[in-house]
Amino acid sequence: MLAAVMTRPGGPEVLELREVPRPAPAIAEAVVRVRGAGVNPIDAKTRAGGGASALIRDYPAVLGVDFCGVIERPAFDSHDFQPGDVVYGLLPVPRVSGSYAQFATAHVAMIARAPRSLTALEAGALPCAALTAWGCVVTTGRIEAGQRVLIHAGAGGVGHLAVQLAALAGAHVITTSSADNSEWLRSLGAAEVIDYRNERFEDVTGEIDVVIDLIGNVRDNTGSRSLEVLRKGGLLISVPTGSWSTFREECAAAAVRSTDIKAISSTAVLTEIANLVDAGSLKIRLEKTFPLSEARAAHELIETGHSKGKIALEIP
Ligand SMILES: NC(=O)c1ccc[n+]([C@@H]2O[C@H](COP(=O)([O-])OP(=O)(O)OC[C@H]3O[C@@H](n4cnc5c(N)ncnc54)[C@H](OP(=O)(O)O)[C@@H]3O)[C@@H](O)[C@H]2O)c1
């Protein structure tokens, strides 16, 4: 099969289009013919030698954690997902071969029927960001109507979905972005959008119940500054692993609850997300799509840190 492989850790130039063997399914895995794959910051971090790169045993390695595709071979004869069914889901890359490829194997508990109203490219870019947003807003954040929620980086892949889910929960959503994205984020349900380039969010938000921090301290001390706006007993969810190594201690000192989080896939949650999408209640925005052969350019774009919504690879 054709795959965009990472030949060694390094810059985007280590991504090459190559013929590689198809991955073999483990027990309870289906074989999926991939149509669209998401491009996520974790892919770029892993390619650069951070992220999950310590788990890569052999090169060339196939990156890509999320996908939409067609079942080629079911996990077993009578399983719900049969050849021809369009599914989407999240893969435990780099333990298995990733989605930047014509075929992937996926545990059936981590996939679901894709939203009918989306293209394969849109659906392929949705799982990692949507499952992360779901974890922040629903499972971990337990955000309720009337709560004041601050979401950093609302214009990104996770952020634009978290803004919508928090607004659907009835929260008063405040988000940070550059000024160009303000109108769009309001149209997704944000009540207030703070232009982080020209305003300090701690001067204007008032007291906040939950911060969904998609930045950490890697830019402008965003994580630590969030403690100035959280009420005592409020919750900080630190999403980018390693972006703010002392968040637990700093949150404890500020009498604020804290947690990290990981994207977790399940058929049940992916089905709920698909239902919201098909009902028109949750919208994904694709910033740009690239053919698989241009995975390098896709990585260059995600590494700018300013893509608006999601990026997808079209698999031939
Ligand atoms: N723990 C997990 O399982 C998990 C899962 C998914 C993602 N993550 C991590 O979470 C982070 C966000 O992921 P993502 O996919 O949403 O990233 P992304 O799509 O690359 O985010 C890009 C967005 O960040 C915004 N941004 C950049 N600097 C900003 C700042 N100083 N303040 C506010 N917004 C800023 C940009 O908005 P403007 O262009 O308007 O500046 C842009 O739209 C990444 O570090 C990722 O690795 C972790």
**CATH code of the domain containing 29:** 3.90.180.10
* Last residue within a domain, chosen from 260, 287, 303: 260
Would you say residue 134 lies in a domain?
no
The whole-model pTM stands at 0.98
Q: Cα–Cα distance between 284 and 124 in angstroms, integer? A: 11
Q: What is the mean pLDDT of residues 231-251?
A: 97
Distance 78 CA to ligand 1 centre (A): 40
Ligand 1 test: best mutation among 178, 221, 237, 269, most atoms within 8 Å of CB?
178
Amino acid identity, position 81: F
Q: Are residues 124 and 6 in the same domain?
A: yes
Would you say residue 304 lies in a domain?
yes
- The predicted-structure confidence for 141-151, as pLDDT tens digits, reads as follows 999 999 999 99
pLDDT at 67: 98
pLDDT at 11: 98
Q: Are residues 92 and 20 in the same domain?
A: yes
> What is the phi-psi region of residue 205: left when phi exceeds 0, alpha when psi lies from -120 to 50, beta otherwise?
alpha
* Alpha helices in 74-156, H assignment, sequence order: 120-124, 127-134
Would you say residue 309 lies in a domain?
yes
Average pLDDT, the chain: 98
Q: Are residues 189 and 83 in the same domain?
A: no
Take atom 2 of ligand 1 and give the residue whose Cα is closest: 262
pLDDT at 81: 98
| Structural domain of 94 | 2-128+264-314
pLDDT at 41: 98
Would you say residue 153 lies in a domain?
yes
Q: Are residues 32 and 69 in the same domain?
A: yes
pLDDT band at 177 (very low <50, low <70, confident <90, very high): very high
Would you say the C-alpha torsion 44, 112, 106, 86 has a positive or negative sign? negative
pLDDT band at 203 (very low <50, low <70, confident <90, very high): very high
Contact 276, 126 (CB under 8 A): no
Helix axes 127-134, 157-168, angle to 10 degrees: 40
pLDDT at 220: 96
Q: What is the mean pLDDT of residues 37-42?
A: 98
Q: Cα–Cα distance between 143 and 46 in angstroms, integer? A: 31
Q: What is the mean pLDDT of residues 173-199?
A: 98
Distance 247 CA to ligand 1 centre (A): 18
Q: Are residues 106 and 219 in the same domain?
A: no
Share of the chain above pLDDT 90, in %: 100
pLDDT band at 126 (very low <50, low <70, confident <90, very high): very high
pLDDT at 291: 98
Give the C-alpha distances (Å, rounded to integers) separating 95 from 56, 111, 242, 280, 286. Answer: 7, 17, 20, 35, 27
Q: What is the mean pLDDT of residues 152-159?
A: 98
- The alpha-carbon radius of gyration of the chain (Å, integer) is 19
Q: Are residues 253 and 158 in the same domain?
A: yes
Q: Are residues 205 and 268 in the same domain?
A: no
pLDDT band at 246 (very low <50, low <70, confident <90, very high): very high
Which ligand 1 atom sits closest to the C-alpha of 155? 43
Q: What is the domain count for the chain? A: 2
Q: Are residues 222 and 249 in the same domain?
A: yes
Would you say residue 96 lies in a domain?
yes
Distance 159 CA to ligand 1 centre (A): 7
Share of the chain above pLDDT 70, in %: 100
Q: Are residues 110 and 171 in the same domain?
A: no
pLDDT at 235: 98
| Strand arrangement of the beta sheet that strand 257-260 belongs to | 192-195, 172-177, 148-151, 208-213, 230-238, 257-260
pLDDT at 219: 96
Q: Are residues 106 and 28 in the same domain?
A: yes
What three-state secondary structure class fits 137? Answer: helix
Would you say residue 171 lies in a domain?
yes
Report the chain's terminal Cα–Cα distance, integer Å.
10
Q: Are residues 151 and 247 in the same domain?
A: yes
Helix axes 127-134, 267-278, angle to 10 degrees: 100
- The predicted-structure confidence for 64-107, as pLDDT tens digits, reads as follows 999 999 999 999 999 999 999 999 999 999 999 999 999 999 99
Take atom 29 of ligand 1 and give the residue whose Cα is closest: 153
Contact 64, 44 (CB under 8 A): no
Backbone angles phi, psi at 83, to 5 degrees: -50, 135
* Last residue within a domain, chosen from 215, 237, 260: 260
* Last residue within a domain, chosen from 244, 260, 276: 260
Q: Are residues 31 and 80 in the same domain?
A: yes
Q: List the CATH number of the domain containing 205.
A: 3.40.50.720
Would you say residue 17 lies in a domain?
yes
Distance 306 CA to ligand 1 centre (A): 8
pLDDT at 227: 98
pLDDT at 302: 98
Would you say residue 53 lies in a domain?
yes
